[in-house]
Structure formats: structure tokens, C-alpha cells
């Protein structure tokens, strides 16, 4: 589902106009991004947690060329799905089989 489809679906369900949903979604993303860039954890019940984590520097070796790279430390945004949703999606495939 793309950004547009998401907006269309939400507009339909909420009874909002698409432009309103689009604005709200932009604001949400802006807010989430801002909070994440301040290293704030965002807890969404029954969905999961957005947070940032620091990856320390490491040397990575390309096994083909044996070239060694010093990869600098970085901060990455991560999402940890809530347990419930994780289990639900995990078993989904099994049901289908």
C-alpha cells in the first residue's frame, strides 16, 4: 500500500477529505520524525515502539575483495513491533499453509 492508497483508505473510513488526511499524515510523520531525531521513544499500544539506537563503529570486510572498511558510528531509527502483533503476523503464514 502506497502513501496515496493509505490516504484514500483513511479518508474513506474517517469521513475526512483526502487533503485533510494528507495534512494530518504529514503532520504525524513530521512529529514522529522530530521526536525520533530527539532520541525520544514513541510507544504505540498494540503496535510497537519507535526508537533510535546508536550503532558503534565497526570494520566491515567485503568477503569478495577482502577490502576493509571502517564504518563510522551512526544513529538508526528502529521499530520494535509489540508482542501481540508479532505473534499474530508470525502465525499468519502457517495458517495459510
Residue selected from 18, 19, 28, 83 as contacting other proteins according to rule CB under 8 A? 28
CA–CA gap between residue 78 and residue 94 (Å, rounded): 26
Binding mask 33-72 for other proteins (x = CB under 8 A): x-xxxxxxxxxxxxxx-x-x---xxxxxxxxx--xxxxxx
Name which of 18 and 41 has its Cβ closer to other proteins: 41
Region for residue 77 given its phi and psi (left: phi exceeds 0; alpha: psi -120 to 50; beta: otherwise): beta
Q: What gap in Å lies between CA 1 and CA 23, rounded to an integer?
A: 18
> Is 86 an interacting residue with respect to other proteins (CB under 8 A)?
yes
Q: CB of residue 35 vs other proteins: minimum separation in angstroms?
A: 6
User: Would you list the DSSP string of 6-31?
Assistant: HHHHHHHHHT--HHHHHHHHHHHHHH
The DSSP call for residue 56 is P
User: What residues line the site for other proteins (CB under 8 A)?
Assistant: 1-3, 6, 9-10, 13-14, 16, 21, 23-33, 35-48, 50, 52, 56-64, 67-79, 81, 85-86, 88-94
Amino acid at each position: 500500500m502506497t502513501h496515496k492508497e493509505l490516504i484514500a483508505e483513511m479518508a474513506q473510513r474517517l469521513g475526512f477529505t483526502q487533503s485533510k488526511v494528507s495534512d494530518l499524515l504529514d503532520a504525524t510523520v513530521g512529529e514522529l520524525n522530530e521526536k525520533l531525531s530527539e532520541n525520544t521513544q514513541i510507544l504505540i499500544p498494540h503496535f510497537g515502539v519507535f526508537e533510535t539506537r546508536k550503532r558503534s563503529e565497526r570494520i566491515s570486510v567485503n568477503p569478495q575483495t577482502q577490502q576493509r572498511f571502517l564504518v563510522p558510528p551512526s544513529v538508526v531509527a528502529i521499530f520494535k513491533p509489540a508482542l501481540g502483533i508479532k505473534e499474530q503476523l508470525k502465525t499468519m503464514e502457517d495458517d495459510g499453509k
